[in-house]
Amino acid sequence: MHSIEFDKSIIKGVKLINVETIITHEEIIEQKADKLIKYIESFNYDDIIISSILCCSKSFVIIDGHHRYFALKKLGYKQIPVTLLDYDSDQIKTDYEEKITKKQIVEYGVSGKLLTPKSTRHVFYSSSSKNWEPIILLSSLFKLKGSKNL
């Protein structure tokens, strides 16, 4: 399933979750989200393949995937693919330098006060590379009905 080794216990679940349950902690770049929406709409297929949004398993705050979340929500999806992570794990960092803590990120999300776009670049520890790797590598691919089929 994954091309890189890591502590599998940090993944707490992979499933479709109601879009209204998910909490954002940072703003998006409108142009990037618009391009993603156009890309998804460009498929002439009944289904699209997309990487899951990564969220804290306790708070449902997005760890990675704000633009994917926004695009799917704007396209009218009611259920979105999510990989739930143990955000308390020391195998996950907010970025290489950890300028902001995980606790602060959850607090921003829950309060509705959003950070600037790309404020975080979450990473996880890979036991195979012995390095901190981009957390998007923990995403799962999902097949969703195309936006024309909503």
Known catalytic residues? 26
Bridge partner residues of 13 (DSSP): 84
Nearest-angstrom CA–CA distance, 23 and 39: 24
Residue 61, number of CB atoms within 10 A of its CB: 19
Nearest-angstrom CA–CA distance, 38 and 77: 15
Nearest-angstrom CA–CA distance, 8 and 72: 27
Nearest-angstrom CA–CA distance, 84 and 104: 19
